[in-house]
Amino acid sequence: DLYAVADVMVIPSKFEAQSVAVLEAWAAGKPVVVADVGGMGPMVRQLGAGFVWVPNTGPTGLAKILFHVLVSGHSKELLIKIRMARDYYDIRKIVEKYVNIYENLVKK
């Protein structure tokens, strides 16, 4: 319910590997703003389904990104990228990839 009423998911963690919350936000069709730490920044950049905040820009840098996101709204291109990210990380596809990895290992 919270994702449904949210405009954007913000994860300003200074220490984070790869947040499941990013995947949850994309599953709900929401863009993300993540700190450029761990795997979150590269993941968001690769798929283009959100925005990356560099922590050393401080709260002002984060505020600028949030202002941009909230004022400009969600472009059609961004919404398409969110759908692509959701499909890319679909649990059925992930499970299938793991099964293939294990099957290949067993064959060796």
pLDDT in tens, the chain (108 residues): 888 899 999 999 888 888 899 999 999 999 999 999 999 999 999 999 999 999 999 999 999 999 999 998 788 999 999 999 999 989 899 899 999 999 999 988
Q: Which of 44, 7, 9 is nearest to 24 (CA)?
A: 9
CA angle 23, 26, 28 (to 5 degrees): 110
pLDDT at site 16: 84
Spatial separation of the C-alpha atoms in residues 83 and 63, rounded to whole Å: 25
